[in-house]
Amino acid sequence: MAANVIVDPAAGRQTIRGFGGMNHTLWINDLTPAQRDTAFGNGEGQLGFTVLRIPVHWVNLYAISVQNEPDYARDWTWWTPGEMIRFLRENAGSIGTKVIAPESFQYVKGFSDPILNDSGALANLDILGAHLYGTPYQNFPYPLFKEKGRGKELWMTEVYYPNSSDSADLWPQALDVGEHIHRALVDAEFQAYVWWYIRRSYGPMREDGRISKRGAAIAHFSRFVRPGYVRIDVTPNPQSNLYVSAYTASASRNSGSDWPPHTARSCACNA
């Protein structure tokens, strides 16, 4: 059954910052040099990642998070929204790199709404970060961020999907990953998509260092939708179980210049 797909190159949406994953050497073994090449190379048989998430001190960072999952565990990482706002207002301005907050484990808007509604806290925030563990698709859009987050970025900084119990080489779960990324970019309009462990039985790279089926679904985006590309309007769901998104290599969606004729297109399909 055929369906029309309309692409509007003049309708630019968010600028993509990249795709990536976590490497936590205190909990699992470090990636080998060959595995790093597989993860961050952009050739055939590689993942094309450009974002590395690490727990580390005293190194140059692109951005740092105030607290990982402050609403997840009261005896471990717990912050209240009020504490987060106070830190952003009083301390975050002195941090010499971009600041990410609040990184709610489930994109709980009740944690990030107060930041968006506090001008002092918002002034010291560069990237609104969120995790998508168990977040239903209907909660992906964020109207308040679109209203008040002008000049800020929106990153999805941690997830595994749909679970951590199954092998990353099972169908249809690998296709489900493709739909999850599509919805994170199209419905939520995130600018970055960061997986949990890069190398894991349920992750983009298997323990033997080979790319998994879930990893192939991620690479369908990460290898071809590069940092600086801009998502443009396209019919997102032209028929049941077919999801389409489109991207252009234009340097800026606000430059006013003509869009280049070449576009990179990504399609995630669930059978």
For the question of residue 179 being annotated catalytic, the response is: no
Place of tokens 């179980």: 241
Residue of 103, 153, 158, 179 marked catalytic: 158
Residue of 69, 103, 153, 179 marked catalytic: 69
**DSSP string across the chain:** ------EEEEEEEEEP-EEEEE--TTTSPPPPHHHHHHHH--STT-----EEE---SSS--SEEES-SSTTT-TTTT---HHHHHHHHHHTGGG-SSEEEEEEETT--HHHHHHHHT-HHHHHT-SEEEEE-TT--GGG---HHHHHH-TT-EEEEEE---S-SSS-TT-TTHHHHHHHHHHHHHHTS--SEEEEEESBSTTSSB-TTS-B-HHHHHHHHHHTTS-TT-EEEEE-S-SBTTEEEEEEE--S-TTS-SPPPS-EEEEEEE--
For the question of residue 69 being annotated catalytic, the response is: yes
Catalytic residues: 69, 158
